[in-house]
Amino acid sequence: MTYNVEAIRADFPILGRQVNGYPLTYLDSGNTSQKPRQVVEAMSEHLLEHNANVARAMHQLGAESTAAFEGARETVARFIGAAGADEVVFTKNASEALNLAAHTLGSRLRPGDEVVVSVMEHHSNIVPWQLACQRSGATLRWFDITDDGQLDFDKARAEDLINERTKVVSLTWVSNVVGTVNPIAQVAAWAHRFGAVMVADGAQGVPQRVTDVAALGVDLLAFTGHKLCGPTGIGVLWGRRDLLAELPPFLGGGEMIEVVRMEGSTYAPPPARFEAGTPPIVQAIGLAAAIDYLSGIGMQQVADHEVAITRHLVDSLLGIDGVRVLGPTDPAVDRGGAVAFTVKGVHPHDLMQLTDSRGVAIRGGHHCARPLHDRLGVQSSSRASVALYTTEAEIEVLAEAVAYARDFFAGRTRPHTPRKTFAERRAERAARAAQAGAL
C-alpha cells in the first residue's frame, strides 16, 4: 500500500492552521507529536459515556472503564511484542518510568557496584541514576561518543566500561539530539555476560521504529505516549515478568497492595505493584487509540517514511552555508528523526523565534541533554524533528527559513518574496536539469 502522507495529515486538524499568517510547519515532533482526531475522539467518548474509576467501582460504568483500561494495557503489550499485558506498567511519562527503574533497581546497589549510561542521554536517563548511586554508594560510569555521535566502543573496551562490577546499563535507543540509533541488542548482550540489567530509554525509538522487546534484548524499556501520537500524562515501563516480580514497590497507596496492617503490608504482583492510586485512565485509552491508529497505517511504513524524510532534512540543512549538523550525516548510517544543528552567528533561541515568525516550529536549547552538548563543544543547538505526517515541502520551508535567518543576522537583508510551493520548486529543478541535459 502506498504511503499517503496527505491523507494522514487530514487526520491532524492542527496541521491545517496558520501561525503568524503562514501555514504551520510543525517540526517539533521529537518534543511532542500532534494527535489525530481518532485519539481525541476515543478519549472524549470514554469521558462522556464510560467514565468511572477502575478496579474499585463494582457497577456497570466501573466495569466498562476497567475493561477499557486493561484493554489499553493489552494493546501496548501487543505493540511492543511483550509476552503478556502483566509486563506493562503505566506511568505518567518516560521520565517517571526511568525513575521507577532507577529507584527499584537502585535498592539493590551497594558500594563498589557500577551503573553505566552514556554522555548522549536525556537528563531523565542520567539524573535518576545519579540519585540512585548517591543513595547506595555505587559509581556512575558512562560511554563517551565519537565526533560523529556514535557510542565509542573502542574507548569503552579500553576502559573496561562494562565488567563484573556493572549492575545496570541504561542507554537511549535513539538520541533525541543527534539522532543516533544505538545498537541496544549488542550492548545488552555485553551487559548480560556480566549479569547486569539492561534498561533502554525508548522515548524517541518506539514512536519511530517497529518495536520488539525480545529483539532489543532489554530487560526494561521506557517510553511515553505524547511522542507516539497519544496524549500527555501517560508513559510505559515494560519489564520482563520475572524481573518485575523481584523489584520492590516504587510508590505506596491504593491498588498496589494485597493486605495492609498497621504492623506492615504485603504488595500486589506486577503491574499493580507499581501503579499506586488512581491511574491515568483516559490517557491510557488515548495511547491505545494512538497505537491502533499507527498500527492501521503500519509501523514499518511509518518508519520507512521517517527515514526518507529525515534523510531529506539532513541533506537540506547540509546544503546551507554556515550550518553544522550534529550527529551522523553519512547516508549509509541509520539515524532517528531528531536533527540538531547550529547556524554560524545565530543563537538557537534567536533562530527559533525567527522561524516561528514564519510559521516554522522548531526547538532551540540543549534539549535536556547538556552533557552531550558539552561533549560536542556547543552551548546549545536548534533541533528539527519529523514524524509520520512530515512532508518534503515542510523541509523545504525550513531550509528557506534557516537561510533567511542566517542572512538576517549577518545583516544581509533580502526582499520578501511569496513562498513558492514545493511542487513549483520541484518543477523548476526538473526544468533546470532537463535544460542542462540538453546542452
List active site positions: 368
- Cα-based torsion angle of the residue sequence 98, 99, 100, 104 in order, rounded to the nearest 10 degrees: 110
CA angle 47, 51, 54 (to 5 degrees): 135
Instruction: Please give the helix or strand (H or E) that residue 1 lies within, else none.
Output: none
Angle, in degrees to the nearest 10, between helices 392-409 and 422-438: 90
Supply 250's cell numbers. 516504587
Residues in CB range of 207: below 8 A, 6 or more apart: 33, 223, 227, 228, 229, 387
DSSP three-state, residue 21: coil
Direct distance between the N- and C-terminal alpha carbons of the chain, in angstroms, rounded to an integer: 39
- How far apart CA 233 and CA 94 sit, in angstroms, is 10
Asked whether 99 and 170 are in contact (CB, 8 A), the reply is no
Q: Minimal CA–CA distance to 176: which of 376, 361, 367?
A: 367
Residue 384 φ/ψ, nearest 5 degrees = -110, 140
**Is 94 exposed, middle or buried, given 0-12, 13-18 or 19+ CB atoms closer than 10 A?**
buried
**Is 178 exposed, middle or buried, given 0-12, 13-18 or 19+ CB atoms closer than 10 A?**
buried
Asked whether 236 and 284 are in contact (CB, 8 A), the reply is no
Q: How many CB atoms lie within 10 A of CB 437?
A: 7
Beta strand residue intervals within 86-195, DSSP E = 88-91, 114-118, 139-143, 166-172
Asked whether 272 and 70 are in contact (CB, 8 A), the reply is no
Supply 407's cell numbers. 542572512
Asked whether 336 and 180 are in contact (CB, 8 A), the reply is yes
Q: Minimal CA–CA distance to 180: which of 33, 304, 338, 302?
A: 338
List residues bridging with 238 in a β-sheet.
88, 221
Asked whether 289 and 311 are in contact (CB, 8 A), the reply is no
DSSP three-state, residue 319: coil
